[in-house]
Amino acid sequence: MASDFTQQIREKARELLEDGTVECVIGYETGSDGISARPAFIYNAADVERLVFDNTCTHNLVKYLLNKKAKSTAVVVKGCDSRALNLLLSERQIERDKAFVVGVVCPGIVESRWNERSEQLQKRCDWCRQHTPVVSDFMVGDPVTEQPPADFADVAEEEAKTAEERAAFWQQQAERCIRCYACRQACPGCYCTDCFAESLDPEWVGIRIAPAESQMWNTIRAFHLAGRCISCNECERVCPVNLPLSLLNRKLEQKVLELFDYRAGMSEDAPAPLITFKKDEKLGIAE
Amino acid sequence: MSENSAPLIIGFLCNWCSYAGADMAGTSRAAYPSNIRILRVPCSGRVDPMMIVKCFQEGADAVLVAGCHPGDCHYNEGNYYGRRRFALLRELLDFMGVERERFRVEWVSASEGKRFAKIVTDFTNEMTKMGPRKAS
Amino acid sequence: MVQAESSSLEPVAKRVYSYYPGCSLHASAKEFDVSAKLVCQKLGIELRELEDWICCGASAAHSTSHLLSLALPAHTLKQAGEKGLPLAVPCAMCFSRLRITLHELKKKETLDLVSRTLEKELSTDVTVESMLDVLANESISLPVTKPLERLKVACYYGCLLARPPEVIGCDDAENPQTMDRLMGRLGAEVADWGLKTSCCGAGVSFPRLDIVLKLSHRILSLARSTGADCIAVACPMCHANLDMYQKDMTAKHKEKTNLPVLYFTQLMGLALGFSPKELHLDRHLTDPLPMLREKGLA
Amino acid sequence: MLKSTAIILGPVNDFLSSVQSHTGQSITACYQCGKCTAGCPSAYAMDITPRQIMRAIQLGLKDEVLDSSAIWLCLSCETCSLRCPREIDIARVMEAMRHLSLSEGRRPAQKDVVTLYNSFLQQVRLFGRVYDLGFGVAYNMRSGHPFSNVTRLPGLFARRKLKLAPDRTKGASEVRRIAARAKELERMRT
Amino acid sequence: MSRIGVFVCHCGTNIGGVVDVPKVVEAAKQMPLVVFADENKYTCSELGQASIRNAIDEHRLDRVVVAACSPRMHENTFRRTVAAAGLNPYLLEIANIREHCSWVHSDHDEATVKAIDHVQMAVAKVARHEALFPKTIGLTKRALVIGGGVTGIQAALDIAATGHEVVLVEREPSVGGRMAQLDKTFPTLDCSACILTPKMVDVAQHPNITLLSYSEVKEVRGFVGNFEVDILKKAKMVDHSKCTGCGTCWQKCPGKVSSEFDLGLGQRTAIYIPFAQAVPNKPVIDLENCRYQTFLKWDESQGGKKPPECRICEKICPTKSIDWEQQDEIVTEKFGAIVVATGFKTFDHSVYGEYGGGRYPDVISSLQLERLMSAAGPTEGEVVRPSDGAHVKNVVFVQCVGSRDDRVGRPYCSKVCCMYTAKHAIMLKEHDPDVQCYVFYIDVRAGGKDFEEFARRAQDESGAIYLRGRVSHIYQDGKNLKVLGEDSLIGRPVEIEADLVVLATGMEASDNADTLAQTLNISYTIYNFLIEAHPKLRPVETQTDGVFVAGSAVGPRDIPECVAHGSAAAVKAVALLSQDSLKSDPLTSIVDPMKCVGCFACKVVCPFNAIEEQVTRDKRTVSSINENLCKGCGLCVVACRPGAINLRGFTSQQLLSEVLTLVRE
């Protein structure tokens, strides 16, 4: 099946490059360990054979579209990636007419480890309710019926603790954070050229490496993604010290679903919950 | 956290309703505990969640945001946006160990001086009972 | 349901209905039953009467037990549902009870309760049509052999075919047109009058005849004042009240009340060429035949 | 009309709230415009009018409502509900009041009307369908007007309006079962 | 390095009685950047203000903190004070140690500690204050009045009287509105036309007023003081510059149609003026019904015989004013202020099937009755029934038709019906003493000067019988109408045989009120009535500066109220126009284009459309603030993740440093 996906992607890529629809196709190729895929940028039809698609294609290529100078580009997107695409379209970071979207019905992505095969599905795939891309100009694979809502067992588990335990838990996490900002770089929702975290005036996050500052960073990072996070779990996957970052996003995702019946990136025009409102909604504050 | 065991409460009051409400509490001599420190903001919609998180990170024991009643916002819609942001923020804070009780949002009109005093009194008592924040 | 081809020579596709006559049509309102069947036959509409059908409970159940008033019609709905055909109902009372029950059963808790009462699985997946709606369907062409020219008809719908409009599916609860249009297509002139949907008092017929007489007389005399030759009805109760007591009214009001009251199916029958005998036009207490003769329709 | 004593209003009004919850109608919405009465075909014969029924419920005057003739003279024609400017289904309320009055075993202000209904249902339980003649006779006997409408019989027979034997259906037993079940379930619910 | 001065006020004993003021002063002296601190008995007194001015000179202060009463009390006072000493007025901060401290706390030590904290916060904040300068904007000293009813007329005349130019836009061919259709007015019974027409003429003749009849507002751009409005001038087909309004054309025109002005009770010609006293008194051609147009549109294929070419008006016009070439045109005008007075229309009773749904000729609306009663109306004041022209004897009035009725989506009270019905009952009796009027009402609402007396008069003197109850059914019975109601006071149904029924149809917002509101960016209710800035205190202003509302476009109102609101709106407009320039509050948002990523969350949340898109030199589309529209709420600041937007006077830096003084002590 995967190989057949690869074929379809290659053919489409060739066609797009030959008839000049796009000047670059962003897809996946086999990495240097000969196992796990890495992003590939194809400019000539001759090179399309490099393209592959399999269950190691973990990267969200949508982020490469953020370069506004680029001309028309084709990009291969999985279900979750497509939600990121919608998010960025709605926030006007990508010009739709310059992007040709090759949607791939995602088979599920495995944990990629250097130089070894893994059949272990990634965490995000357990949560995933969107294997079929929500936006695409060309679809590879047949749309699948999606699973019922993911339950938020992980969140519930954390909430079972006392406030004191939770405080302590996040305190420990904060102590381990080295503020390398890998989470930010990997996140499709984090694209600001100047991040609040590096602003010296106002100094929201002090430059000293201290738990309080890291706590501040992690909290606001999560909150800036409230109602925007497409739960791809990249932040957590790339974290060098394995902080449970998604847990924060998941908590907010759950609440956003409950209060606003909203899932980020499902459509290009549904406004994110924090930039809209209903006059007579009950949200459990000041009532 | 403030040295004295008395809890430190930071209040953000919208200029048009709640700040005026607090003034009314003054003119009608409605007494309340002195723990609260009041910042004037144009609108509850101006209160940045980052600011609230910062308050807690820096050791405040509690935060109060007060704005116009829904429908009465001087800027028509400010408190509606605020309401959504705060609803989510409070969940996140609680999830991270800052008990939801410590972050309060209230709608106080310019005429509700006595009510403002009562809110602050109850809030302060509750916070004193809970004691200072653990951790950080 | 298949739509009739207007311009084609093949025989019109047959319409088939389950048929629920209701108690009256097997007794006092036999003529309604007979005329309805004849007309349907003529128009290629097949009626299959439900076997062992039971009473709808009428206003008696409605006024005494909410649950019973739903349970009895629900049983009939169940029967009809099993047949998988739309249900045609001539009697306005039965029709109203069935439609209202169907409507109430849309509520989950009601559905459960009534199912428990019948000890049967109920579904709301069945269509109930009044005989009037069945026959007034404009896509059915009417082979009129004896147009009702020179006949002015006051169409009377009563309560049950009008209210509540959203449940009954009435085109205009204050001034319905379904029957009027139908009579128009048969060549009759119709009266525009203001009591088409006013109540005749059926609910309390025996115990408070005084009320029935007052209400029915008001209806009859207004219809008469519009110059109507007869009243067309689609409800056995209305028919009984308007037809049966005209002598009493004449006595009471010292002015002759004599206005034939016919089932709309009987008028259709006449236009489609059936004889007064076939249509049981001799079964009314206010004899319509003299008037019909005078109009050359009998 | 209303009783000859002053109305004493208590602090809580259970009747109002129970009627509202039971019928799903907002009685308090009624502003007494009287359109219900104006269009009611039998209002002229009622002791208190539909509008007054609504008012009495608002004030919690249970007896005035349940002992009124109005609830029994209501013809369920639904004209009031159709035209109410406050969108109250008054007919629904009247119906509920009839049921309540029966379930409380009150003596109906129009007992003949109730007799009529019972005789009717009796026929239905007997034969599964209504048998007009039997129905008529039963009513006359139970209501104690043995000769009402008797004068009409010749005419009716002449026009073959009345059959001499009831229409029998296997459904009859079904009806009896349903009626019993309904009674039982309704008792359980109250 | 800024030099901050702190002035702590005793406010007599109001503050000093609880807060240890000297202690606060001492503490203040220790605060960073504070070079001077002092106390006053009454800082707001001339003496206190002088001490501030002197200190500014003496100690070269560049920022000032006043610890006293609420800023809502004296912020402006002290801004003037520092300005007088040559400081920018925005380099001032107030610490509220009275309302928020001494008046609500009794423990002296606690109060003092809190006062010090508040001074500390103010110091921290003032240190980050910048000099701010209100922008001055020029303005166009002209007003646009939309709607030529009595409200619009009043507003236009009042504005014009102050010497400002006014453009009055009216959709219909003549001004006058609903009031022109009325016969008499309550409770004084003076003739509507007699009091209105002079005003209509004044409008036409006033040198400062340009009347654009038969025109509509299409687009509105810009902001307070500087609106740019596109107005559609519908083609009249008559050159009004030549036309003298002699009337020959409309006397001769053969194209007869039913008259809108007479609500179908009379006829007008295809070239017409809506009514005799119309202003302008010059005709327009209704192309729908003009014979020449039918002649032009006719084509062989449809068969039938060719209609006559007509063009009679053209032939007989003495001034050759008929202009078949005229086209709709759009003109763009500049204005400083806009008054919206689009008025109301009456409820269409045909939705009431139980009242005949409009199919009984003798069931008419109150406005139709006005036309029947008017001497200038289709029957020259004879009140006769439309069906057979018979004189009426038994007249039934039905109140609240399209009012107080949820079922037709009109739960509100239309306010004027009770009174105009009383008027009708009185008038009919005066027309013919044999007339008997019956009025079905729910409540008689007669709140207003001489109103109750007037409503009583209808019953006491004119003998109208008032029946408390809403009519349920009206039907034709022979020549007459049967009316079924209840007398809810006696509790019995009532049946009346009437030869005329008059329905008191309620008030509705006029057509397209909502579209216009959107064009003007002002809000409106679900019934399309316009919403004022504050229902009590700002009744003619709106949330959009420079746009004012008046009359029944805001809600059901009677004539005196409409006129009053017209004048009120005029004053507000004039107050605006009489300024030489407008000062924009400098406490607005500001965007750092370098940080902006162009997600435009700010644009989505801004309630005032103040966010505009701007392309930077490096071709990025970023947001920028239109400071004339920005009201300084700061919603955009919070919506902006990268922190590209800030709010002057309440910058994130300032709020943050205030907080830090509290937590890092």
Phi-psi region of E448 (alpha: psi -120 to 50; beta: other; left: phi over 0): left
Across the interface, of E353, E356, E473, the residue whose CB is closest to C172 is E353
Pairing outcome for strands E344-346 and E363-365? unpaired
| Per-residue pLDDT at C91 exceeds 70 | yes
CA–CA gap between residue C268 and residue E164 (Å, rounded):
76
CA angle A268, A269, A275 (to 5 degrees): 115
Host H or E run for residue C54: none
Q: Which residues of E612-643 are buried (b: 16+ CB within 10 A; e: fewer)?
A: eeeeeeeeeebbbbebbbbbbbbbbbbbbbbb
Chain E neighbors (3+ CB pairs < 8 Å): A, B, C, D
pLDDT of the residue at D190: 66
Whether the pLDDT of residue C13 is over 70: the answer is: no
Q: Which tens digits make up the pLDDT trace of C140-151? A: 999 999 999 999
Distance in angstroms (rounded) separating the CA atoms of residues E482 and E499: 9
E interface with C, Cβ–Cβ below 8 Å: 353-354, 356-357, 359, 473-478, 482
CB contact under 8 A, E472 and D39: yes
C251 conformational bin, left if phi > 0, alpha if psi -120 to 50, beta if neither? alpha
Q: Do chains C and B touch (3 or more CB pairs under 8 A)?
A: no
Judge whether A226 is closer than 8 Å to chain B, CB to CB. Answer: yes
Integer Cα distance of C219 and C212 in angstroms: 11
Which member of B77, B89, B105 has the closest CB to residue A223?
B89
**Tokens 């073959």 map to which residue?**
D160
Reading the block at residue A184, the tokens are 């930010």
How far is it, in rounded angstroms, from Cα D118 to Cα E560? 64
Mutate to test the interface with B, among A195, A219, A243, A260 (most CBs of B within 10 A): A219
Q: Is the pLDDT of residue A129 over 60?
A: yes
Interchain proximity B39–E658, CB inside 8 Å: yes
The 10s digit of each residue's pLDDT in A94-109 is: 999 999 999 999 999 9
Distances in Å between the alpha carbon of A115 and those of A34, A45, A237, A240? 7, 29, 17, 18
Query: Which residues of E are less than 8 Å from B85 in CB distance?
Result: 638
pLDDT of residue E556: 98
pLDDT of residue C8: 40
The alpha-carbon gap from C283 to the nearest alpha carbon of chain D, in Å, equals 5
CB pair distance less than 8 Å for D33 and E400: yes
CB atoms inside a 10 Å sphere around CB A257: 17
C-alpha B135/C-alpha A168 separation (Å) is 6
Q: Give chain A positions within 8 Å (CB) of E643.
A: 194, 196, 199, 202, 204
The predicted-structure confidence for E377-412, as pLDDT tens digits, reads as follows: 999 999 999 999 999 999 999 999 999 999 999 999
Q: Return the residue in B16, B48, B64, B73 with the most chain E beta carbons within 10 A, the one to mutate for interface testing.
A: B48
Question: Which residues of E are less than 8 Å from B43 in CB distance?
Answer: 633-635
Cβ within 8 Å of residue E366, ≥6 positions away: E346, E417, E420, E421, E424, E502, E503, E504, E505
CA–CA gap between residue D132 and residue C25 (Å, rounded): 11
List the Cα angle A190/A194/A198 in 5-degree steps: 100
Q: What pLDDT is recorded for position C298?
A: 85
| C188 Cβ contact list (under 8 Å, min separation 6) | C148, C149, C151, C152, C153, C267
- Give alpha helix (H) positions in A135-179: 153-160, 163-176
Nearest CA in chain A to E635: A275
The CA distance from E471 to the nearest CA of chain C, in Å, is 14
Q: Cβ neighbours of residue A231 under 8 Å, at least 6 residues apart?
A: A80, A124, A127, A246, A249, A250, A253
E471 touches chain D (CB under 8 A): yes
Q: Tell me the pLDDT band of E298, cut-offs 50, 70 and 90.
A: confident
Chains contacting A with at least 3 CB pairs below 8 Å?
Answer: B, E
Q: Would the pLDDT of A248 be above 80?
A: yes
- E474 with C222: Cβ contact below 8 A: no
Q: Determine the average pLDDT of the residues in A229-234.
A: 94
Of the given ranges (A66-80, C7-21, E479-493), which has the lowest mean pLDDT?
A: C7-21
Regions of chain D short of the pLDDT cut 50 = 1-2
| pLDDT at residue E42, as a whole number | 96
Closest-CA residue to D155 (of A78, C285, A131, E556): C285
Stated pTM of the model: 0.78
Contact at CB, A216 and B57, closer than 8 angstroms: yes
Kindly give the interhelix angle for A163-176 and A153-160, rounded to the nearest 10 degrees: 110
Chains in contact with chain B (at least 3 beta-carbon pairs closer than 8 A) = A, E
Q: What is the DSSP letter of E138?
A: -
Give me the mean pLDDT over the E36-58 stretch: 96
pLDDT (0 to 100) of residue A2: 56
The b-or-e profile of C264-288 (16+ CB within 10 A means b, else e) is bbbbbbbbbebebeebbbebbbbeb
- Kindly report, residue by residue over E51-84, the tens digit of the pLDDT: 999 999 999 999 999 999 999 999 999 999 999 9
Q: What is the ipTM of this complex?
A: 0.72
The CA distance from C154 to the nearest CA of chain E, in Å, is 14
The pLDDT value recorded for residue B111 is: 85
Query: Tokens at residue A124, please?
Result: 């995000």
Which pLDDT belongs to residue A108?
Answer: 93
Provide the pLDDT for residue B1. Answer: 37
Task: Suggest the residue from D22, D110, D124 to mutate for an interface test with chain C (most C CBs closer than 10 A).
Answer: D124
Q: What angle do CA C115, C119, C125 make, to 5 degrees?
A: 40
Average pLDDT, chain B: 92
Inter-chain contact E639–A275, Cβ cutoff 8 Å?
yes
Q: Per-residue pLDDT tens for C192-213?
A: 999 999 999 988 888 999 999 9
What percent of chain C has a predicted confidence (pLDDT) above 90?
89
Which residues in chain A have Cβ-Cβ distances shorter than 8 Å to E651? 202
How far apart CA B82 and CA B103 sit, in angstroms, is: 13
Our answer on whether E and A touch (3+ beta-carbon pairs < 8 Å) is: yes
**Is B touching E (3+ C-beta pairs, cut-off 8 A)?**
yes
- Best E117, E125, E521, E662 member to test B by mutation, with max B CBs in 10 Å, is E662
pLDDT greater than 80 at residue A3: no
E84 touches chain A (CB under 8 A): no
Distance in Å, alpha carbon of E430 to nearest chain D alpha carbon: 30
E611 pLDDT exceeds 50?
yes
DSSP C30: H
Note whether E475 contacts C193, CB cutoff 8 Å.
yes
Q: Does A276 touch chain E (CB under 8 A)?
A: yes
Chain B positions in Cβ-Cβ contact with residue A283 (cut-off 8 Å) = 83-84, 87
- DSSP-derived letter for residue A116 is B
